[in-house]
Chains A and B, each alone.
Chain A
Amino acid sequence: MRLELREVVKRYRSGTETIRAVDRVSLTVAPGELVALYGPSGSGKTTLLLTAGAMLRPDSGAVLADDRVISALPESKAAAFRRDNIGFVLQSFHLMDSATIADNAAIKLVLAGMPPRRARRLVRPWLERLGLGERHAATPARLSTGERQRVAIARALANDPKILLADEPTGSLDADRSRDVLRLLRDLTRERALPAIVVTHDPEAAEVADRTLVLRDGRLTDAGTLPRPVGSGTGP
């Protein structure tokens, strides 16, 4: 699937001001392409991501998936589209504390109408690939942050999405784990020919991305001018 944003504008109100979080952004992400999106926090990256994911409706412009306009769908159809086609990886995982990892990962399938038992079976391979196969019956409370992040990733991928959207997927992880997760995302993107947008602060993401963009004041620019953090990549 190909993901395209055409002249997307999204405003929101903050106090008495109206802020253009996304200001006439156009972006095409090809299947198998991973785009890393940087920018100051609160700059609209999240808004852009949610709009690209048919969760928010743009004030003007359009979002297309394979030439189909998904930004104007009614709520229930948009929800169904997200459920069936998009894998969202969020920074705050919001896992269900009492449910098992398998249940958490399988939630989208259950929402789509699959019998729970079957859904749990279907997500096992994902959990195993992410190193959680043994713990499938555990609850999130017993996992480390990194493991919970991986559950969130499994959840995003369980429905075999055609688009991958990630918001700070390495936000709570240390350097090593961050690298692992980013590499995993890149592998998956390539394997399944997914268009992927990864919103991040993590300099490592630039290493795995095919393209690096910056969102500033609602406008997208190329990341060529992004200052490399001092000291990275020059370890002993």
Chain B
Amino acid sequence: MIRLAGLRIRALFGFYAARIRQHPVQEMLAGAGIAVGVALVYAVMVSSASITGSAARVVEGVAGHAQLQVTARSDQGFDQRLAAEIRALDGVEDAAPLLRSNVMLVGPDGSRSTQMVGVSPTLAALGGELGPILADGDALGTGLAVSEGVAESLGVASGGSVELRADGRARMVPLSVLSPEVGGALAGSGAVVTSLRLAQRYANRDRRVSQVLVQTISGRRPAVERELERLAGGFANVTGVDAELAALRQATKPNDQSTQLFAAIGVMVGWLISFNAMLFTVAERRRFVTALRLEGASPRQPLTILGFEALLLGVLASGFGLLLGELLVRLIFDDVPDYLAFAFPVGSGRDFQPSIVVLCFLGGVLAAGLDAFYRGQAESREEIAPRTGRFLLWTALAVVAATTVVAVAVPAVTIVGGITLAVAAMLVMPVAFRFAAGWLERVTGSTSRLNMLSVALMELRGPTTRGVALTAVAAVAVYGSVAIGGARDDIVRGLDSHTRQWLSNADLWVTTGGQDLMINSFTAPDLDRLRAAEAVAAVRVHRGGFLDIGDRRLWLIGRPVDSPTMIPASQMLDGDIEQATARLRAGGWATASAAFANERGVEVGDRLRLPTPTGARSFRLAATTLNFGWIPGAVTINNRDYADAVGTVAPSALEVDLAPGTSAEAGRQAVEAALGPASGLTVQTRAEREAQYYDFGREGIARLDQIAALLLLAAALAVACALAAAAWQRRPRLAALKIQGATRTQLWRAMLCEAGVLVAIGCTVGLTLGVYGHLLAGRFVRSATGFASPFTLQADELLLAGGFVAVVALAVSAIPGWFAAGASARASFSE
């Protein structure tokens, strides 16, 4: 028989059941608030863990026991004989080569950009997931192997064939389907697996590989690493097998941070909601404790009852919150964001991480406990003293000032300011109340036309804990939406403008297709034939690829020397654009993203060393830029320098200028004709490519929009519930006023005015601090992530955020308000 403070567990459950029966709405509201907070934190943690988690699974699945890898510095790869040399090294247990290249698959039902991985039988020795297929002799030797999901999306059955576009050529190849047990995480990630030999043929990389996985004999790793450096260090990267994961994390960090910030604000709103609900019963709870003591309960018993109730509430609410969070993950945070998939081996599928579940669960229970034991110094209906209000105001101003100083001095940490400003929004409330109520009173005092507003103001004159808590919900939610939404809009606007400038260089773009940054090289088609086409005025060779330096997967851009512009003006930071452009054209100079340059301690005019497939190359820095829309950063050189450094003349895109008077469509057809039917290249007009990039850019931040909308809705509903509950509690007083001669309509109007004033105060404070937060967030974005985000205030967006909460809260609370105003006279006689 378990007892707590002498009470049986069943009795404790009984108390809680009675409590729910008495205050069902308050309990639900309290639980809902906690659930919202838990759901948001869970969804955010799971989704960021999933991206890195799934990538980790892919890497592990392929690498098996290998600890080291040698990776090529461009997609041209390196000679496969290196693999044999590595295997021969002292201390190496086993080594296996791989060829990875980005390809496109086209089937009757759809097309798909993905990565093709060519594996050799030696990979089986490393013990990865692909062992079984490799053991089966010829399974991969006939064509491509994909997962069921990929085959379905293409509309091709196992044994059929699919169009493969690689290296700028298109061909039909046989397709087989891997069952999940066989393909493992790699197939699950949507990649295409085939034999090394076939991959080399399809990708036109004869006798070349992009990666060698190395398993060392126990204890010999450092020595092997040194040997590998000696062997390959001049033209390839020698790293641990999980180097890519670090790069992935670096690339997703800002997005993670902003989502985390939003989740934090969501948690605040959630907690405020439950706090609000609890405030309704705080006085009653005190009376409850007193009454129990009279009955003979020991000092600990009432506290045990309250604590148990808090525990139950916390458990139920957290449980519900986890379910809600799971729903959020499935509905909103579901897919692998494409903007990462082309650059990293991101898988699909979820990691079940018990630690996240437990953490969120405990967090919810803790929140419930905090609520339950709030003692407060005063009754929730008692006024917050002017002195306290002033103190809070000064604290708020101090917080804002500190946040500003930090934002100016250490921009990278500004993201924390997102939370501190939200706290400031809450602290400012009591004074905002007094100010607003006082001002309104002066305005309405001498007129008789706004009398119901005057009646409402009588109730509101003093800020009470309850009133402030209610308004704080609206304020924090609106703040979050405006600050983060505003920053997001700035980013999108910056990206759009960058995209336009970037793509304005040509009328048509010829690439390998798919969502990418033009980093897939291909064998150049007959350029003379292309140039000879009547519609074509000029063709320029654009080169580009990824360069891994440290944790960064940099985008190395080789802009055609004869490009109209070398650097998009919107991306310039340090340096003179005309001079930098001239220098880039001349050669030997580069521009680099400021974050990367700062990391290397390089300023304009200094030398920047880049590890390339042909060895270390140095360039002088002509200018620093923003990040070109790619979080890890970008380095621009001219295409001749690129060919020289990377050791290939292969283009990754062709820029085509059309003859004057030629329509884009006509131009495209002419180019396609010139390329021929066997070409695997995609020809896009500038407009089409722009549209593709727009979607691409927005995708990364789409989920913020969704969270923002949900948050606003939740806050609005919570405010409505709190207003309704307050009105309901007030029925005896409303009835008394009716006896004094008020009509139902008058009372209802007064309640609406009161609700309106409360919500207006909250939304105004939220909007004001939100705009400031937006400003600071923009600063963070620019300096910490390198996105161009010109600060713009969109008045209509502001009104939408604030107005939405106000309208929903008022509309929803108007109905119970009407019923409360209809309280019968008898109600005033019950106490």
Q: Please determine if A and B sit in direct contact within the complex, based on CB atoms under 8 angstroms apart.
A: yes
From the candidates A53, A96, A115, A156, name the one contacting B458 in the complex (CB within 8 A): A96
From the candidates A76, A96, A100, A115, name the one contacting B743 in the complex (CB within 8 A): A76
Q: Does B665 contact A (CB under 8 A)?
A: no
The answer to whether B444 and A116 have CB atoms under 8 Å apart is yes
The answer to whether A115 and B455 have CB atoms under 8 Å apart is no
Q: Does A110 contact B (CB under 8 A)?
A: yes
Q: Does B327 contact A (CB under 8 A)?
A: no
From the candidates A55, A84, A98, A116, name the one contacting B739 in the complex (CB within 8 A): A55
The answer to whether B736 and A55 have CB atoms under 8 Å apart is no
The answer to whether A115 and B741 have CB atoms under 8 Å apart is no
Pick the most buried of B382, B735, B741, B742: most chain A CB atoms within 10 A of its CB: B741
Residue of chain A at shortest CB distance from B744: A75
The answer to whether B458 and A86 have CB atoms under 8 Å apart is no
Q: Which residues of A contact B739 (CB under 8 A)?
A: 50, 53, 55, 82, 88, 90
Q: What is the CA–CA distance of A92 and B830 in the complex, to the nearest angstrom?
A: 9
The answer to whether B446 and A79 have CB atoms under 8 Å apart is no
Residue of chain B at shortest CB distance from A97: B381
Knowing A90-B736, A99-B461, say if A116 contacts B454 (CB, 8 Å): yes
Contact residues of B between 724 and 763, Cβ < 8 Å to A:
732-733, 735-746
The answer to whether B459 and A98 have CB atoms under 8 Å apart is yes
Contact residues of A between 98 and 149, Cβ < 8 Å to B:
98-100, 103-104, 107-108, 110-118, 139, 141
Q: Does A80 contact B (CB under 8 A)?
A: yes
Knowing A97-B381, A110-B454, A117-B445, say if A79 contacts B742 (CB, 8 Å): yes
The answer to whether B458 and A94 have CB atoms under 8 Å apart is no
The answer to whether B732 and A111 have CB atoms under 8 Å apart is no
Residue of chain B at shortest CB distance from A117: B445
Q: Which residues of A contact B304 (CB under 8 A)?
A: none
From the candidates B444, B454, B829, name the one contacting A46 in the complex (CB within 8 A): B829
Q: Which residues of A contact B455 (CB under 8 A)?
A: 107, 110-111
Q: Does B825 contact A (CB under 8 A)?
A: yes
Q: What is the CA–CA distance of A50 and B461 in the complex, to the nearest angstrom?
A: 31
From the candidates A50, A115, A155, name the one contacting B448 in the complex (CB within 8 A): A115
From the candidates B444, B462, B741, B746, name the one contacting A86 in the complex (CB within 8 A): B741
Which positions in B face A, CB cutoff 8 Å?
381-383, 441, 444-448, 451, 454-455, 458-462, 464, 732-733, 735-746, 825, 828-829, 831
A–B pairs, 14, beta carbons within 8 Å: A55-B739, A76-B745, A83-B740, A94-B735, A94-B737, A96-B733, A100-B458, A107-B455, A111-B741, A111-B746, A115-B445, A115-B446, A141-B383, A155-B740
Residue of chain B at shortest CB distance from A99: B458
The 3 closest A-B pairs by CB, nearest first: A83-B741, A94-B736, A99-B458
Which positions in A face B, CB cutoff 8 Å?
46, 50, 53, 55-56, 75-76, 79-84, 86, 88, 90-94, 96-100, 103-104, 107-108, 110-118, 139, 141, 155-156, 159, 167
The answer to whether B733 and A94 have CB atoms under 8 Å apart is yes
Q: What is the CA–CA distance of A96 and B751 in the complex, to the nearest angstrom?
A: 13
Knowing A92-B829, A98-B383, A116-B444, say if A55 contacts B733 (CB, 8 Å): no
Q: What is the CA–CA distance of A86 and B738 in the complex, to the nearest angstrom?
A: 12
The answer to whether B829 and A75 have CB atoms under 8 Å apart is no
Known A99-B459, A117-B446; 16 more pairs at CB < 8 Å: A81-B741, A82-B740, A91-B829, A92-B732, A94-B737, A99-B458, A103-B458, A108-B740, A110-B454, A111-B737, A111-B742, A115-B445, A115-B448, A116-B441, A116-B444, A155-B740
Within the complex, what minimum Cβ distance (angstroms) separates B39 from chain A?
Answer: 35
Q: What is the CA–CA distance of A113 and B741 in the complex, to the nearest angstrom?
A: 12
The answer to whether B742 and A139 have CB atoms under 8 Å apart is no
The answer to whether B828 and A90 have CB atoms under 8 Å apart is yes
Residue of chain B at shortest CB distance from A158: B740
From the candidates B445, B732, B740, name the one contacting A116 in the complex (CB within 8 A): B445
Residue of chain B at shortest CB distance from A82: B741
Pick the most buried of A100, A110, A167: most chain B CB atoms within 10 A of its CB: A110
The answer to whether A113 and B459 have CB atoms under 8 Å apart is no
Q: Which residues of A contact B745 (CB under 8 A)?
A: 76
Q: Which residues of B contact A155 (CB under 8 A)?
A: 740
Q: Which residues of A contact B831 (CB under 8 A)?
A: 92
Within the complex, what minimum Cβ distance (angstroms) separates A140 from chain B?
Answer: 11
Q: Which residues of B contact A114 (CB under 8 A)?
A: 448, 451
Q: What is the CA–CA distance of A86 and B745 in the complex, to the nearest angstrom?
A: 20
Q: Which residues of A contact B461 (CB under 8 A)?
A: 98-100, 103
Q: Which residues of A contact B744 (CB under 8 A)?
A: 75
The answer to whether B740 and A107 have CB atoms under 8 Å apart is yes
Within the complex, what minimum Cβ distance (angstroms) separates A82 from chain B?
Answer: 4
Residue of chain B at shortest CB distance from A104: B458
Residue of chain A at shortest CB distance from B742: A111
Within the complex, what minimum Cβ distance (angstroms) separates B73 from chain A?
Answer: 71
Knowing A92-B829, A98-B461, A139-B462, say if A113 contacts B448 (CB, 8 Å): yes
From the candidates B444, B742, B825, name the one contacting A56 in the complex (CB within 8 A): B825
The answer to whether A80 and B741 have CB atoms under 8 Å apart is yes
